[in-house]
Amino acid sequence: MVPGKSEIAEASCALMKSYEAIVWAHHGLFAAGPDFDTTFGLAHTIEKAAEIYLAARAANGGSDDFLNRISDQDLRDTCRDFFMQGAIRAAEDDFENDVCGTTLAALSGQDVAFVRAMAQDDRPSRRRRRSPCGLLPNPTTGTH
């Protein structure tokens, strides 16, 4: 889709009726939620997932054939626990509509063991419910 055209805006509006987040290749991430902390937590989780996935591929010579794997069902269960199922459904259902392949792999592939590590992170969160992101420092004060 061409940036600045109504086609991408209309497609985004249609997807956001069903999902909390969408990722358009060459355009970026769009997330929505009931409040800033929830929305930022979702966007941060998706960005971190993609970052870790790319780092893992780089460490593996560019290959996506990883030794440590988790099943698709275990990944879905973990994402359900962190309220990420909408992002996964959007990536799976709308891949043909130019959803970023890297994020799709990071969210729904079998080779994302880092999700288990995020699920085991029990640090407190600013969010009302437990977040895989942990605490983020206040940019003004530098405190949590």
What secondary structure does DSSP assign to 11-51, as a single string?
HHHHHHTT-SEEEETTTEEEE--SSHHHHHHHHHHHHHHHH
Is residue 98 in a domain? yes
User: Tens of pLDDT along 119-131?
Assistant: 555 655 544 443 3
pLDDT at 64: 77
Task: Tell me which amino acid residue 34 is.
Answer: P
pTM of the model: 0.45
- Domain that residue 29 falls in: 6-119
C-alpha 3: how far from chain center:
22
Residue with tokens 């591929």: 57
pLDDT at 97: 43
Q: Residue 43's beta-bridge partner residues? A: none
Is residue 79 in a domain? yes
Q: What's the domain count of the chain?
A: 1
Task: Tell me which amino acid residue 123 is.
Answer: R
pLDDT at 135 over 60: no
pLDDT at 8 over 60: yes
pLDDT at 120: 57
User: Tens of pLDDT along 67-92?
Assistant: 766 777 877 777 777 766 566 565 55
Is residue 129 in a domain? no
Is residue 126 in a domain? no
Is residue 65 in a domain? yes
- Top mean pLDDT of 50-64, 108-122, 125-139 is at 50-64
